Amino acid sequence: MKKKREENPIVNQVLTPEFLKQFKDSGELNSFMENLYARAMEQMIEGELDSHLGYTKHSPEGINTGNSRNGKSNKKVKTTLGEVELEIPRDRNSTFEPVLVPKRSRTVEGIEEIVISLYARGMSVRDIELQIRDLYGYTISDATISNITAKVQSHITEWQSRPLASVYFVVWMDGMVFKVRQNGKVINKTIYLAVGLNAEGHKDVLGMWLGESESASFWMSVLTDLKSRGVEDILITSTDNLKGFTEAIVSIFPQSITQICVVHQIRNASRYVVWKDKKQFAADLKPIYTAANKDLAWTALEKLEDTWGKKYPHAIRSWKANWQELSHFFDFPLEIRTMIYTTNIIENLNGKIRKYTKTKMSFPDDASVLKSVYLALREITRRWTLPVRNWSLVVNQFINIFGERCKI
């Protein structure tokens, strides 16, 4: 159902039907809106100057204060309504710094958000310039676009260092590989991502970290960073079966239950199986991870070994070697099982990030890949407004199992 538009009561008071009937076409209405916008902006900036000086225009309180108004200067700014000319007030001491339209800035916040949003969707600087020109009828330079997107770096730093919750019920972790230019060569680098499920049932991207090839030692530094930002406990982690990953997790969060992604394990085991046997091998694997409990799952694994153990011993050995971490999900109710037995939540996130970054074959430097992934995350997570499915049931299951560790 379409959401009803919320109307400002002032709009109904000012823009009456009788008033609006005077406009003959959309061009006249657009011209009026531009003038209205300009007048409103100018009055708001006048208010900023009043606050800066400490007195209103023509007020006797301004006498002998050491600073006063000093005329106005014209300035053209780019807005979502088009290019608008404003009269910007000045002070005699030149200490007034407008917030709405900062000095040396030719764009307002609305346009900056549009530029950043277009960049986040993978558009090139040239494409953004053309899009702005088509939509708003003016040209915004490549340098301006680059300067706007460069401001994102400060947002990344602030976001990456923000305090986190003390407890996360589940944290999914995975890495994404990107091609980045370094020292004249294009090499593979990994963006490490962690997504947490908080006490309100909402997913939250806890951070992103850039390193070279994925390793357990780097993940340890990621987990250390999470702890330094306030995370005291993680009830369950869901990860791939990277060697040493479990040990890294328990060294930082010793009480955490470490679940290896079953889907990753299926893929890894299937690498040892020749193509003509893959379909039947996969069918024989299914009774393991769909079993009702851990004992039945182990029985299914032994049956798999009886059937395929001699032909594919490495495939069976990989299941047995990781069985403890692979089988933790059987200890939980079905609603929690479906959340933790695989890292699908973060892999789906990775897939959406790829859609935003697929136009970039490689990145010129580390800052560029971090900026692109951050902006993609910002666009994707805007839709994360609801708790996970059946949260009222799931949270009670967590409380029954983990008790006071949930801190609810």
169 contacts 255 by C-beta, under 8 angstroms: no
DSSP 114-148: HHHHHHHTT--HHHHHHHHHHHHSS---HHHHHHH
CA distance 269 to 258: 20
- Confidence at residue 8, expressed as pLDDT on a 0 to 100 scale: 59
In the predicted model, what is the mean pLDDT of the chain?
Answer: 84
Q: How many CB atoms lie within 10 A of CB 231?
A: 22
- Whether 14 shows a pLDDT value over 60: the answer reads no
Nearest partner of 72 among 56, 87, 57, 55, judged by Cα: 87
- What would the pLDDT profile of 349-396 be if each residue is shown by its tens digit? 999 999 888 877 788 888 888 888 988 898 899 889 999 999 999 999
Residue that wins the pLDDT comparison between 7 and 161: 161
- What would the pLDDT profile of 224-262 be if each residue is shown by its tens digit? 999 999 999 999 999 988 888 999 999 999 999 999 999
Nearest partner of 349 among 204, 214, 213, judged by Cα: 204
CA distance 27 to 401: 65
- Confidence at residue 3, expressed as pLDDT on a 0 to 100 scale: 47
- E strands of 232-360, at which residues? 233-239, 257-260
Relative to beta strand 185-197, strand 203-211 is antiparallel
DSSP 386-399: SPPTTHHHHHHHHH
Residue bearing tokens 């780097």: 218
Q: How many CB atoms lie within 10 A of CB 75?
A: 15
Which range among 19-28, 250-259, 285-294 shows the weakest confidence by mean pLDDT? 19-28
Confirm whether pTM is higher than 0.75.
Answer: no
- Whether 2 shows a pLDDT value over 50: the answer reads no
Residue bearing tokens 């949260």: 391
